Structure 1
Amino acid sequence: MLFFLKTSKNKERADCFIYIRITVNGKREDWSTQRRCEQQEWDKHTGRMKGNRAEARATNSWLDTLNTRAHSCRQDLYAAGKSFEPLHIRKLMQGEELDPPRMLSEAWNYHTSQIAGLLGKDYTPGTLAKYKSVHRVLKKYINLKHQSDDIRLDDIDYRFVRDFDYYLKTDYGLKINTAVQMVKKLRTVVKIAYEIGWLKRDPFIAYRVRHEEVHREYLSSAELQQLAARKFKRKRLIVVRDLFLFSCYTGLSYADTVKLNRADILKGEDGGLWIQTYRMKNNNRVRIPLLSPVLRLIGHYKDNPRLFDEDFILPKVSNQKANAYLKDITGLMGWTKRLTFHCARHTFATTVTLTNGVPIETVGQMLGHKSIQTTQLYARVTDTRISRDMKPLKKKYAGQELSLTDIMDE
């Protein structure tokens, strides 16, 4: 590194700008120190001003400061373990960023492009659509707060996260659990940016998820029997009821139910028939032993004309129409609860399995859950199960002596 005078193009001035030059591996970078000096007052050998005048002392002190800063910046770049050039030292000395700032949209597009490339393997189209939807909402929020549709990653802090969470629940009008799911997707993208080095700190480190307890509908054993015994006149309602019952007795979602084909029905080690398939949502493998009602439903549609040219085991109905017909079925049954295929999965977890003594770990495996906590959201302890579990205790305490004193006369 050296300091030198650069001749001014303005011939009328006797002084010149003092420049700093830094050379690294044969490459050099020159820039002005914003100080001037006349030729006769400059010492080429020391790279400083001559004399002991106040002006010379002030200028030389500034040059010493630049020299110290340049060495410090060079050491920082060495410590970072990355190759660098004189330009990088200059940028650090002048407070500039070495690389262009990484933006949230860049991190979001990086993640969604990988999701798109892994569709059908690690992700489903629904997951990609959800991330794109959250990104659109984020753009609206950023535009509202910052008059832009994007934000630097290093500008995302804990307050940004809290304010976005608040915006979703108030201005955007989402329910608590829906807002939580959207913030979680932001956290996923930010975590990826942090792990690949685009972000130096994790703004979510203090963020705690707070779910709202939600009552999830399921059919009781009596209601399930009523629906199974009910006969409908319209064919579309019959088909949708059968699809719904199939889901109640297997725990499969609507998407997994309608895609089942004959190759998914296998003989298990117990000699009975099992369903072995992979969930559309997360590609998790599920294996489910088939109950009698399921076997009868499969046999009922075995020779259905709608399935002759296909390998599916059940008729197909669009998800939109199926939900609409379930509303008609609810009305005909005289029920107030809302029937959905998610309700059918909860019915399988609660009424069909857990209430009948199936361990929750087994229920989770059949539902395709990776975490037991997820299964706990599906499986509810019913009054029937509580009554059955408490029956031995009732017998134990039935004859226990209890001394009672009448206090009415006191």
Structure 2
Amino acid sequence: MTPIKRHCQFLVDKEKGKEDGRLRYRIKWNREIIAFNVGYRVYLSKWSKETQRCILNTTHGRDKISASEINRAIQIMEDDISSIFYKYEMNDIMPTKENIREDYNLIARDINLKENIVKLVDLFQTFIDDQSKSNHWSASTIKKMTTILKHLTRYKADANLDEITETYLQGFIDYLLYNRKMRNTTIEKNYRLLMWFLRWATKHEYITTKAHILFEPKFKNSTKEVIFLDWNELIALYNYDFKQRKYLERVRDVFCFCSFTGLRYSDVANLSRADVHDDHIEIVTQKTDDRLIIELNKYSKELLDKYKDIPIEENKALPIISMQKMNEYLKKIGKMLNFNEPIKDTYYKGNRRFETTNPKWELLSTHCARRTFVVNAISLGVPTHVIMKWTGHKSMESMKPYTKIVDKLKRAEMDKFNR
């Protein structure tokens, strides 16, 4: 570590005809000079150049600010600037004045927030603004967080930061249940997003309460049914003749491509022709920033070849429409192909249990394609760890719902011998 030689001095700007002046902190190093306003006016007659402090037991400015308050601000500024330079010394970097100003402004901003933000909803908006930029949130993540902010505002807009108690948190859960009529699964997702914010607020010392750490709400949930197309349904869809309905054919092709590669719809939407190679595609996923290499099989390759000479906006590999329209058309396609298998959905609202049964086509969505890929790959005997390399799943735990489905299918097939 190389110490950075610097000369630091607090100066009182002399103003003609006035007994006091603005107090500044000037730092010189490596031919760089920068000055910060301390935020106080100081009387020259009550300022000590030797100690770089206000003379004790004096007051300054129209508001008669005490010397002890100003001297405390001076010490804090000295410490903050020293810590900034220490960071660069540790990394053997010579900072520019822009570096120092930017770092100090961040510290000053945090101090200002802690002193002035008292409402939880105000801090939540700051959380969205800060984290969406620094972590490059996707539009969907920003939308989810903005929705949580709306719920918090409608629940209790004037809640202060010191009101984050177990009672407040349970009240928010009850609000989502009774006022917004949400299912337990949806409430749990919303609560996890709120916890994300509370961990951030705790880390930055905006709040000191531990209620969110100690409070452990229980959500009664049933295992959600995994909607997918079995191999026969997938091949029937792949070979279906849509005749002149080209818009449905394009929707089918994109869905099938996801079903033969395991890609999310958001990643296929970003797939460009530059990402396509002779025998594989290479892409960085939007959701997790994973770099995936996925080998092409004959089906996925045929779909890419089908569109390789057709002009598509932004040189995309496949024709993409909005997810909302895609999901709408998938249900229409599923109905045309008689995907009528009854799917039972069991869910809870609080402690109340509900059941609905719908034909499979009503439940089709873009994410069913990724599930279709995983279930069929396991059924075909592809090792789970290989599938995870293609899909980007991080743990065997996340694959359990799919392996359970395949085990159930195997038992059903074995039962055919008994019949």
Sort the TM-score into its range (normalised by shorter chain).
Answer: 0.5 to 0.7
Q: Which residue of 139, 153, 165 corresponds with 1:125?
A: 139
What residue in structure 2 maps to residue 278 of structure 1? 284
| 2:331 match: secondary structure | helix
1:105 is matched with which residue?
121
What is the CA–CA distance in structure 2 between the aligned matches of 1:375 and 1:114, rounded to whole Å? 34
Note if contact 1:131-1:185 (Cα within 8 Å) is conserved in structure 2: yes
CA distance in 2, matches of 1:187, 1:181: 10
> Are 1:207 and 2:216 an aligned pair?
yes
C-alpha contact 1:247 1:348 (8 A) present in aligned 2:
yes
1:250 partner letter: T
Name the counterpart of 2:330: 326
Q: From the superposition, tell whether residues 166 and 379 of structure 1 become closer, same or farther in structure 2 (CA, over 3 Å).
A: farther
User: 1:308-347 maps to which residues of 2 (within 5 A)?
Assistant: 310-335=314-339, 336-337=359-360, 338-347=363-372
The one of 162, 169, 180 aligned to 1:172: 180
Q: Select the residue among 271, 275, 281 that pairs with 1:264.
A: 275
Residue type at the aligned position of 1:203:
A
The AA in structure 2 aligned to 1:226 is A
Displacement of 1:131 in angstroms is 0.4
Inter-partner Cα distance in structure 1 for 2:407 and 2:288 = 32
Q: What is the distance in 2 between the residues matched to 1:334 and 1:348?
A: 20
Query: In the alignment, is the contact (CA less than 8 A) between 1:350 and 1:379 conserved in 2?
Result: yes
Encode CA deviations 1:227-256: one digit per residue, 9 max, x unaligned: 122211211111111111001111112221
Answering whether residue 285 of structure 2 is matched by residue 255 of structure 1, we say no
Match of residue 216 from structure 1: 226
377 and 128 in structure 1: CA distance in 2 versus 1, 3 angstrom threshold: farther
Judged with a 3 Å threshold, the aligned counterparts in structure 2 of structure 1 residues 83 and 331 are, in CA distance, closer, same or farther, namely: same
Are the structure 2 counterparts of residues 153 and 378 from structure 1 closer, same or farther at C-alpha, using a change threshold of 3 Å?
farther
Alignment of 1:4-403 (within 5 A): 26=56, 99=115, 102-118=118-134, 122-142=136-156, 149-205=157-213, 206-208=215-217, 210=219, 211-233=221-243, 234-266=245-277, 273-304=279-310, 306-307=311-312, 310-335=314-339, 336-337=359-360, 338-351=363-376, 353-377=377-401, 380-383=404-407, 386-387=410-411
Alpha-carbon shift at residue 310 of structure 1 (Å): 4.6
The structural deviation recorded for 1:317 is 2.3
* 1:387, distance to aligned residue in structure 2 (A): 4.6
Aligned residues of 1:232 and 1:238 also touching (Cα < 8 A)? yes
Contact 2:261 2:373 in 1 (8 A): yes
User: Where does structure 2 lack aligned partners over 5 or more consecutive residues?
Assistant: 1-53, 60-71, 78-113, 340-358
SS at match of 1:382: helix
Does the 8 Å CA contact 1:349/1:378 hold for their aligned counterparts?
yes
Q: Specify whether residues 164 and 249 from structure 1 end up closer, same or farther in structure 2 by C-alpha distance, changes over 3 A only.
A: same
Shift, 1:152, TM fit? 1.5
For structure 1, list consecutive stretches of 5 or more residues without a partner in the other structure: 1-23, 30-77, 85-97, 143-148, 268-272, 395-410
Change (3 A) 1:332 1:115: same
Cα displacement string for residues 342-377 of structure 1 (whole angstroms, at most 9, x for unaligned residues): 1111101112x2222333333333223344434445
Contact 1:158 1:203 survives alignment (8 Å): yes
Measure how far apart 1:109 and its partner are: 2.2
Q: 1:104, 1:153 within 8 Å by CA — same for their partners in 2?
A: yes
Matching residue's letter, 2:241: K
TM-score, structure 2 normalization? 0.62
Q: Percent identity?
A: 27
User: What SS is found at the alignment partner of 2:162?
Assistant: helix
CA distance in 2 between partners of 1:218 and 1:263 (Å): 30
Offset, 1:300: 1.4
Cα distance per residue 1:82-108 (max 9 Å; x no partner):
969xxxxxxxxxxxxx95563312431
Question: Does the residue aligned with 1:286 lie in a helix, a strand or coil?
Answer: strand
1:111-140, CA deviations, whole angstroms, 9 ceiling, x for partnerless residues?
21123314xx64211101110111011100
Give the aligned partner of residue 407 of structure 1. Answer: none
In structure 1, what is the Cα distance between the partners aligned to 2:369 and 2:57?
70
Kindly provide the CA deviation profile for residues 7-41 of structure 1, in whole angstroms up to 9, marking residues without a partner as x. xxxxxxxxxxxxxxxxx982579xxxxxxxxxxxx
Q: 1:262 to 1:209 in 2, by over 3 A?
A: farther
On the 8 A contact 2:272/2:315 being kept in 1, the answer is yes
Q: Within 2, Cα distance between the matches of 1:25 and 1:218?
A: 77
Give the residue type in structure 2 aligned to 1:363.
Answer: I
For the 8 Å contact 2:273–2:317, the answer to whether it is kept is yes
Q: Is the 8 A contact 2:177 2:183 kept in 1?
A: yes
Aligned mates of 1:192, 1:161 — CA distance in 2: 16
Largest Rg, 1 or 2: 1
SS at match of 2:315: coil
Give 1:115's aligned amino acid. Q
Contact between 1:355 and 1:381, CA under 8 Å: does it hold in 2? Answer: no
SS in structure 2 at match of 1:277: strand
Please give the secondary structure, in 2, of the residue aligned with 1:288: strand
Quickly say closer, same or farther: Cα 1:324–1:354, change in 2 above 3 A.
same
Paired residue type of 2:318: L
